Amino acid sequence: VDERHRGAGTATALCEHAFADLRGRGVRLVEIGTGGDTFHAPARALYESLGCALFPTAHYYRRL
């Protein structure tokens, strides 16, 4: 969600709409992700408020 419109419930509504649609299609598990840095903290808080559980993992990248 554009920074100027954050905090108005748009992201929550979008996620809930997507979750309801997926539920209606018989999907039982969904993965949603974001960065672990400070910039992405609001997204992590949103996902946690929606009942998403953090699954610890590690991803490694190497520029070749």
Question: Would you say residue 61 lies in a domain?
Answer: no
Question: Would you say residue 63 lies in a domain?
Answer: no
Please identify which residue in the block is written with the tokens 């039982």: 28
Question: Would you say residue 36 lies in a domain?
Answer: yes
- Indicate if the pLDDT at residue 45 is higher than 80: yes
- Average pLDDT of every residue of the chain: 92
- Indicate if the pLDDT at residue 51 is higher than 90: yes
Domain count of the fold of the chain: 1
What separation, in Å, do the N-terminal and C-terminal C-alpha atoms of the chain show?
33
Tokens of 27: 């999907």
Q: What are phi and psi of 25, to 5 degrees?
A: -95, 0
Domain span at 18? 3-49
